[in-house]
Amino acid sequence: MTLPPATTAPLTVLGLETSCDETAAAVVRLTPGEGAPNPQVQVLSSVVLSQTAEHAPYGGVVPEIAARAHVETIDAIAAQALAEAGVTPGGLDAIAATAGPGLVGGVMVGLSFGKAMALALGRPLIAVNHLEGHAVSARLTADLPYPFLLLLVSGGHCQLLEVAGVGASRRLGSTIDDAAGEAFDKIGGALGLPYPAGPALEQLARGGDASRFPLPRALLGREGCDFSFSGLKTAAARIAARLASEADRRDLAAAVQAAIARQLAERTARALDLYEAAHGGRDRRLVVAGGVAANGAVRLALQSLAEARGYVFAAPPLAYCGDNAAMIALAGAERLAVGLTDALDVVARPRWPLDEVAARQRPTHIPGRKGAKA
């Protein structure tokens, strides 16, 4: 692959995101600074079509339904994003598309569409890691230079990463079983809440007594920054099965939310120790991103931790917490700015860790065993 030279000229990139059950397209313009210390970012459009209604009867995302819906809508969503941005296809500098990790049928739809556009327009293709998109999502609206410590927390992922720069991340911790967002959804389902249950559980928890139901605290005697939510999920589901009143459900929801926020904060505090040791107390920035970053209790716990440790706290606006294409476009533009592009034969990947070395040395997924996506 021949890399184009790095640039400081404005770059306009179309992003495509189809890794799960949102069909999304966005146009982002990045003006890199000299040496790219403080790039200027403009989100010219961001269109997200949710498939929640299609998957709700099944209590979760059905991969075949998701992939078919992406096929039926990706062209219209991309056209809408270009129209809202006031940009013609010829005005694009590159096409960025999620190439994994995720439901591979859906990933293939967006990546194939991106390849076709790149070939037809004679523009570069950037295959973006979905997790890298989340990593840069706070940079869509905030002046947030590299490096920073990132808690990436969503329905499929729960990781602590030191993000040093474009395409440079070091994993400090990861879930060994379920992701936090999955725990929210599964426990919410046990409480009779509709899918996706995370936002509904947060609403139910308001006014609840978080101390009423004792819930297990995972991995307390284990060193490191890994997470575990399967024990909490099982215990909460068993309690939910015997609840009799709305007040009971409200108290359990509050207890679950508090337990998840507490574990996230505790493990992040450990990661801060490692991050500080590596940076000598400099670059004190803590970022939380992903769908669970929209939860108010989680944000408050992490913001309080950051303030207590003297860190700048950043989180994307709610519109960019869940899956969206603006973050994919920005990740692609940042890669393009330093000369990183991909060939048209790049493949879709159901699993794609940001830190390949850590994934080999300390795998969170063993073939043949269920586990976190990355």
Ordered domains of the chain (ranges, CATH): 11-141+320-361 (3.30.420.40), 148-315 (3.30.420.40)
Question: In this prediction, what percent of the chain has a pLDDT beyond 70?
Answer: 92
3-state secondary structure of 187: helix
Q: Model confidence over 307-331: pLDDT tens digits?
A: 999 999 999 999 999 999 999 999 9
Query: Could you report how far apart the first and last alpha carbons of the chain are, in Å?
Result: 26
- The residues, any chain, with a CB within 8 Å of residue 140's CB and separated by 6 or more, are 28, 41, 43, 316, 317, 320, 326, 327, 330
Structure tokens at 269: 């505090």
Position 34 confidence tier, pLDDT thresholds 50, 70, 90: low
Q: Model confidence over 186-235: pLDDT tens digits?
A: 999 999 998 888 999 999 999 999 999 999 998 888 889 999 999 999 99
Q: Model confidence over 158-187: pLDDT tens digits?
A: 999 999 999 999 999 999 999 999 999 999
3-state secondary structure of 41: strand
Residue 122: exposed, middle, or buried by beta-carbon count in 10 A (0-12, 13-18, 19+)?
Answer: exposed
Average pLDDT over residues 132-148: 95
* Alpha carbons 25 and 27: distance in angstroms, whole number: 7
pTM: 0.91
- Side chain identity at residue 278, one-letter code: A
3-state secondary structure of 282: coil
According to DSSP, the residues that pair with 150 across neighbouring strands are 161, 287
Give me the pLDDT at residue 56, please.
Answer: 82
Residue 131 and residue 99 in contact, taking contact as beta carbons nearer than 8 Å: no
Residue 252 in this model has a pLDDT that exceeds 70: yes
Angle between helix axes 197-205 and 296-308 (nearest 10 degrees) is 70
Average pLDDT over residues 86-101: 97
- Residue count (the chain): 374
